[in-house]
């Protein structure tokens, strides 16, 4: 299953490891990894939590690839 979001890209562009995101958000390393790979659905609350950690609005994690050159 392919991911329909840019959650991993936002983590990477912010220079955060999965362990750091786990520490910041309280979400488990495994859960974050599965969400990034598209193997686990995210909830609205999870999306909001990750958005706070990555300093973006939740919709940005779904719609904007930070690694795409403009």
At 14-49, the pLDDT tens digits run 999 999 999 999 999 999 999 999 999 999 999 999
Q: What is the pLDDT of residue 2?
A: 60
Q: Which residues contact 50 (CB under 8 A, 6 or more apart)?
A: 7, 10, 11, 21, 25, 27, 32, 42, 58, 61
Per-residue confidence at 3, pLDDT binned at 50, 70, 90? confident
- Domains with residue ranges and CATH for the chain: 7-63 (1.10.260.40)
pLDDT tens by residue, 48-69: 999 999 999 999 999 999 988 6
Task: Count helices and strands (H / E) in the chain.
Answer: 5, 0
Cβ contact 6:68 at 8 Å: no
pTM for the structure as a whole = 0.90
Q: What is the pLDDT of residue 37?
A: 95
């Amino acid at each position: 299953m392919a991911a329909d979001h840019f959650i991993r890209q936002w983590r990477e562009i912010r220079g955060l490891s999965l362990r750091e995101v786990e520490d910041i958000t309280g979400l488990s390393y495994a859960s974050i990894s599965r969400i990034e790979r598209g193997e686990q659905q995210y909830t609205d609350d999870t999306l909001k939590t990750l958005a706070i950690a990555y300093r973006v609005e939740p919709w940005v994690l779904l719609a904007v690839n930070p690694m795409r050159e403009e």
